[in-house]
Amino acid sequence: MKDLKLNLKDSVVLISGANRGIGNAIALELLARGAKKVYAGTRDLGAIDATESSYEGKLVPLQLDVTDEASINNAAKLATDVDILINNAGVLLGDSLLNSDSLNNLKIHFDVNVIGLMKLTQAFLPSIRSKAKGAIVSISSLAGLGNMPVIGSYSVSKAAVHSIIQGLRGDLTNESVAVIGVYPGPIDTEMAKGFEMDKDSPQAVAKSIADGIENGVEDVFPDQMSLQVEPLYMGNPKAVETEFGMYVAPVNQD
Protein backbone atom coordinates (compact mmCIF):
# COMPACT_ATOMS: atom_id res chain seq x y z
CA MET A 1 0.00 0.00 0.00
CA LYS A 2 1.16 3.53 -0.87
CA ASP A 3 2.88 5.40 2.00
CA LEU A 4 1.15 8.79 2.08
CA LYS A 5 3.12 10.28 4.97
CA LEU A 6 5.15 13.38 4.21
CA ASN A 7 7.74 15.16 6.30
CA LEU A 8 6.87 18.85 6.38
CA LYS A 9 10.37 19.74 7.53
CA ASP A 10 12.30 20.97 4.50
CA SER A 11 9.24 20.79 2.26
CA VAL A 12 8.49 23.46 -0.35
CA VAL A 13 4.83 24.40 -0.37
CA LEU A 14 2.60 26.60 -2.49
CA ILE A 15 -0.72 27.76 -1.01
CA SER A 16 -3.30 29.62 -3.09
CA GLY A 17 -5.16 32.42 -1.28
CA ALA A 18 -2.55 32.64 1.48
CA ASN A 19 -2.98 36.32 2.27
CA ARG A 20 -5.78 35.75 4.79
CA GLY A 21 -8.09 33.23 6.44
CA ILE A 22 -7.34 29.51 6.36
CA GLY A 23 -4.61 29.86 3.70
CA ASN A 24 -2.64 32.31 5.80
CA ALA A 25 -3.00 30.13 8.91
CA ILE A 26 -1.69 27.11 6.94
CA ALA A 27 1.31 29.13 5.74
CA LEU A 28 2.28 30.07 9.31
CA GLU A 29 1.68 26.54 10.64
CA LEU A 30 3.88 24.97 7.97
CA LEU A 31 6.67 27.47 8.63
CA ALA A 32 6.43 26.62 12.33
CA ARG A 33 6.82 22.94 11.42
CA GLY A 34 10.06 23.59 9.57
CA ALA A 35 9.02 24.00 5.93
CA LYS A 36 11.99 25.14 3.84
CA LYS A 37 9.88 27.58 1.82
CA VAL A 38 6.22 28.55 1.66
CA TYR A 39 5.07 30.33 -1.47
CA ALA A 40 2.13 32.42 -0.33
CA GLY A 41 -0.17 32.81 -3.33
CA THR A 42 -1.98 36.14 -3.28
CA ARG A 43 -3.86 38.15 -5.87
CA ASP A 44 -2.39 41.35 -4.45
CA LEU A 45 1.28 41.20 -3.46
CA GLY A 46 0.69 44.12 -1.08
CA ALA A 47 -1.72 41.97 0.96
CA ILE A 48 1.09 39.94 2.57
CA ASP A 49 3.83 41.21 4.83
CA ALA A 50 6.62 38.64 4.63
CA THR A 51 9.19 40.75 6.49
CA GLU A 52 8.47 39.42 10.03
CA SER A 53 11.83 38.22 11.34
CA SER A 54 10.44 34.90 12.62
CA TYR A 55 9.69 33.91 8.99
CA GLU A 56 13.46 33.95 8.28
CA GLY A 57 12.79 34.83 4.65
CA LYS A 58 11.00 31.50 4.11
CA LEU A 59 7.59 33.06 3.40
CA VAL A 60 7.67 34.05 -0.27
CA PRO A 61 4.71 36.05 -1.59
CA LEU A 62 3.74 34.98 -5.11
CA GLN A 63 1.22 36.82 -7.28
CA LEU A 64 -1.48 34.30 -8.09
CA ASP A 65 -5.01 34.69 -9.39
CA VAL A 66 -6.38 31.23 -10.15
CA THR A 67 -8.78 32.64 -12.75
CA ASP A 68 -5.92 34.20 -14.72
CA GLU A 69 -3.87 31.81 -16.87
CA ALA A 70 -1.00 34.25 -17.29
CA SER A 71 -0.78 34.59 -13.50
CA ILE A 72 -0.78 30.78 -13.04
CA ASN A 73 1.85 30.26 -15.75
CA ASN A 74 4.04 32.97 -14.30
CA ALA A 75 3.77 31.44 -10.81
CA ALA A 76 4.72 28.02 -12.21
CA LYS A 77 7.78 29.56 -13.91
CA LEU A 78 8.89 31.23 -10.67
CA ALA A 79 8.12 28.40 -8.24
CA THR A 80 9.76 25.38 -9.85
CA ASP A 81 10.66 23.59 -6.61
CA VAL A 82 7.19 22.92 -5.15
CA ASP A 83 6.52 19.48 -3.65
CA ILE A 84 3.23 20.25 -1.85
CA LEU A 85 0.39 22.21 -3.47
CA ILE A 86 -2.42 23.43 -1.25
CA ASN A 87 -5.52 24.39 -3.24
CA ASN A 88 -7.12 26.77 -0.76
CA ALA A 89 -8.34 29.83 -2.73
CA GLY A 90 -12.09 30.02 -2.84
CA VAL A 91 -15.15 32.23 -3.00
CA LEU A 92 -18.61 31.88 -1.47
CA LEU A 93 -21.82 33.63 -2.46
CA GLY A 94 -24.87 32.67 -0.42
CA ASP A 95 -27.84 31.75 -2.61
CA SER A 96 -30.56 29.25 -3.31
CA LEU A 97 -30.48 27.12 -6.45
CA LEU A 98 -34.03 28.40 -7.04
CA ASN A 99 -32.96 32.03 -7.26
CA SER A 100 -32.56 33.74 -10.63
CA ASP A 101 -28.92 34.59 -9.86
CA SER A 102 -27.90 31.01 -9.09
CA LEU A 103 -26.64 30.24 -12.62
CA ASN A 104 -24.45 33.31 -12.58
CA ASN A 105 -23.24 32.40 -9.09
CA LEU A 106 -22.57 28.85 -10.22
CA LYS A 107 -20.25 30.22 -12.90
CA ILE A 108 -18.43 32.47 -10.41
CA HIS A 109 -17.99 29.55 -7.98
CA PHE A 110 -16.81 27.21 -10.73
CA ASP A 111 -14.36 29.72 -12.21
CA VAL A 112 -12.48 30.02 -8.90
CA ASN A 113 -13.26 26.93 -6.81
CA VAL A 114 -13.19 24.32 -9.58
CA ILE A 115 -11.60 25.46 -12.88
CA GLY A 116 -9.04 27.60 -11.05
CA LEU A 117 -8.15 24.67 -8.79
CA MET A 118 -7.79 22.33 -11.79
CA LYS A 119 -5.60 24.77 -13.73
CA LEU A 120 -3.33 25.33 -10.75
CA THR A 121 -3.06 21.60 -10.13
CA GLN A 122 -2.17 20.91 -13.77
CA ALA A 123 0.42 23.70 -13.75
CA PHE A 124 2.21 22.37 -10.64
CA LEU A 125 1.86 18.63 -11.14
CA PRO A 126 5.11 18.32 -13.17
CA SER A 127 7.10 19.85 -10.30
CA ILE A 128 5.35 17.69 -7.68
CA ARG A 129 5.84 14.54 -9.75
CA SER A 130 9.54 15.23 -10.14
CA LYS A 131 10.05 14.97 -6.35
CA ALA A 132 10.68 11.75 -4.42
CA LYS A 133 7.37 12.44 -2.65
CA GLY A 134 4.72 15.11 -2.99
CA ALA A 135 1.15 16.04 -2.15
CA ILE A 136 -1.86 17.82 -3.56
CA VAL A 137 -4.13 19.09 -0.79
CA SER A 138 -7.49 20.51 -1.85
CA ILE A 139 -9.98 22.26 0.41
CA SER A 140 -13.52 21.16 -0.33
CA SER A 141 -16.14 21.64 2.43
CA LEU A 142 -18.74 19.68 4.36
CA ALA A 143 -21.06 21.38 1.85
CA GLY A 144 -19.28 19.32 -0.82
CA LEU A 145 -20.49 16.11 0.83
CA GLY A 146 -24.12 17.20 1.11
CA ASN A 147 -25.71 20.26 -0.49
CA MET A 148 -26.63 23.05 1.96
CA PRO A 149 -29.40 24.91 0.13
CA VAL A 150 -28.51 28.17 1.92
CA ILE A 151 -25.24 28.06 -0.06
CA GLY A 152 -26.62 26.04 -2.96
CA SER A 153 -24.34 26.86 -5.87
CA TYR A 154 -21.24 27.02 -3.63
CA SER A 155 -22.12 23.49 -2.45
CA VAL A 156 -22.27 22.30 -6.07
CA SER A 157 -18.76 23.67 -6.69
CA LYS A 158 -17.39 22.02 -3.54
CA ALA A 159 -18.97 18.69 -4.58
CA ALA A 160 -17.03 19.10 -7.83
CA VAL A 161 -13.85 19.65 -5.79
CA HIS A 162 -14.61 16.41 -3.87
CA SER A 163 -14.93 14.60 -7.20
CA ILE A 164 -11.66 16.10 -8.46
CA ILE A 165 -9.94 14.82 -5.29
CA GLN A 166 -11.30 11.32 -5.94
CA GLY A 167 -10.31 11.44 -9.61
CA LEU A 168 -6.77 12.63 -8.92
CA ARG A 169 -6.39 9.92 -6.27
CA GLY A 170 -7.23 7.32 -8.88
CA ASP A 171 -4.99 8.87 -11.52
CA LEU A 172 -2.03 9.06 -9.15
CA THR A 173 -2.47 5.71 -7.39
CA ASN A 174 0.87 4.39 -8.59
CA GLU A 175 2.81 7.59 -8.02
CA SER A 176 4.42 9.03 -4.90
CA VAL A 177 1.90 11.85 -4.69
CA ALA A 178 -0.57 11.95 -1.80
CA VAL A 179 -3.97 13.37 -2.74
CA ILE A 180 -5.61 14.86 0.34
CA GLY A 181 -9.15 16.20 0.65
CA VAL A 182 -10.13 18.65 3.41
CA TYR A 183 -13.75 19.00 4.50
CA PRO A 184 -14.18 21.90 6.94
CA GLY A 185 -17.36 22.99 8.66
CA PRO A 186 -17.85 26.66 9.61
CA ILE A 187 -14.52 28.43 10.24
CA ASP A 188 -14.06 31.91 11.63
CA THR A 189 -12.84 33.80 8.55
CA GLU A 190 -14.08 36.59 6.30
CA MET A 191 -15.87 33.97 4.17
CA ALA A 192 -18.12 32.80 7.03
CA LYS A 193 -18.67 36.15 8.68
CA GLY A 194 -22.39 36.23 7.85
CA PHE A 195 -23.09 32.85 9.45
CA GLU A 196 -24.26 32.98 13.06
CA MET A 197 -23.04 29.67 14.44
CA ASP A 198 -20.14 28.19 16.40
CA LYS A 199 -16.99 28.36 14.32
CA ASP A 200 -13.53 26.89 14.79
CA SER A 201 -10.42 28.96 14.19
CA PRO A 202 -8.40 28.90 10.97
CA GLN A 203 -5.38 28.03 13.14
CA ALA A 204 -7.09 24.81 14.32
CA VAL A 205 -7.85 23.90 10.69
CA ALA A 206 -4.23 24.58 9.73
CA LYS A 207 -2.97 22.26 12.49
CA SER A 208 -5.30 19.46 11.37
CA ILE A 209 -4.18 19.84 7.75
CA ALA A 210 -0.51 19.78 8.75
CA ASP A 211 -1.15 16.69 10.93
CA GLY A 212 -3.01 15.10 8.01
CA ILE A 213 -0.07 15.65 5.64
CA GLU A 214 2.45 14.29 8.16
CA ASN A 215 0.33 11.27 9.14
CA GLY A 216 -0.78 10.28 5.64
CA VAL A 217 -4.49 10.98 6.19
CA GLU A 218 -6.44 11.08 2.90
CA ASP A 219 -9.61 12.80 4.15
CA VAL A 220 -9.14 15.53 6.72
CA PHE A 221 -12.08 16.62 8.89
CA PRO A 222 -10.41 19.58 10.59
CA ASP A 223 -12.91 21.09 13.06
CA GLN A 224 -15.58 20.26 15.63
CA MET A 225 -18.54 20.17 13.24
CA SER A 226 -16.71 18.17 10.58
CA LEU A 227 -15.55 15.65 13.21
CA GLN A 228 -19.21 15.12 14.12
CA VAL A 229 -20.31 14.80 10.49
CA GLU A 230 -17.48 12.44 9.46
CA PRO A 231 -18.88 9.25 11.07
CA LEU A 232 -22.38 10.09 9.88
CA TYR A 233 -21.17 10.62 6.31
CA MET A 234 -19.04 7.45 6.35
CA GLY A 235 -21.93 5.36 7.62
CA ASN A 236 -24.97 6.99 6.05
CA PRO A 237 -24.47 9.72 3.39
CA LYS A 238 -28.25 9.97 2.96
CA ALA A 239 -28.55 11.15 6.57
CA VAL A 240 -26.09 13.97 5.81
CA GLU A 241 -28.14 14.97 2.77
CA THR A 242 -31.28 15.10 4.92
CA GLU A 243 -29.57 17.04 7.74
CA PHE A 244 -27.91 19.62 5.47
CA GLY A 245 -31.09 19.91 3.37
CA MET A 246 -32.66 21.69 6.32
CA TYR A 247 -30.22 24.62 5.98
CA VAL A 248 -32.42 26.55 3.53
CA ALA A 249 -32.30 30.18 2.41
CA PRO A 250 -35.24 32.42 1.61
CA VAL A 251 -36.03 32.18 -2.12
CA ASN A 252 -36.46 35.33 -4.24
CA GLN A 253 -39.94 35.53 -5.69
CA ASP A 254 -38.67 36.94 -9.02
Ligand X SMILES: NC(=O)c1ccc[n+]([C@@H]2O[C@H](COP(=O)([O-])OP(=O)(O)OC[C@H]3O[C@@H](n4cnc5c(N)ncnc54)[C@H](OP(=O)(O)O)[C@@H]3O)[C@@H](O)[C@H]2O)c1
Residues interacting with ligand X, by CB under 6 A?
Answer: 16-17, 19-23, 43-44, 47, 64-67, 88-92, 112, 116, 139, 141, 184, 186-187, 189-192
Output 127 or 189, the one with its CB closest to ligand X: 189
Output 108 or 251, the one with its CB closest to ligand X: 108
Phi and psi of 111, rounded to 5°? -55, -45
Least separation in angstroms between residue 189's CB and ligand X is 3
Least separation in angstroms between residue 87's CB and ligand X is 8
Annotation marks residue 154 as catalytic: yes
Output 47 or 227, the one with its CB closest to ligand X: 47
Least separation in angstroms between residue 219's CB and ligand X is 14
Active-site entry in 96, 138, 155, 158: 158
Using DSSP, state whether 111 is helix, strand or coil.
helix
Least separation in angstroms between residue 26's CB and ligand X is 9
Nearest CA to 85 out of 44, 128, 47 is that of 128
Annotation marks residue 107 as catalytic: no
CA distance 214 to 235: 26
Output 133 or 247, the one with its CB closest to ligand X: 247
Nearest-10 crossing angle of helices 152-171, 117-129: 20
Q: Which residues contact 217 (CB under 8 A, 6 or more apart)?
A: 4, 180, 211
Active-site entry in 16, 37, 154, 226: 154
Output 60 or 173, the one with its CB closest to ligand X: 60
CA distance 70 to 180: 27
Is residue 77 a contact partner of residue 55, using CB atoms and an 8 Å limit? no
CA distance 64 to 75: 7
Annotation marks residue 96 as catalytic: no
Least separation in angstroms between residue 146's CB and ligand X is 13
Q: Give, as one character, the DSSP assignment of residue 54.
A: G
Q: Give, as one character, the DSSP assignment of residue 15.
A: E
- How many residues are there in the chain? 254
* Residue 220 CA to its chain's centroid (Å): 11
Catalytic residues: 140, 154, 158
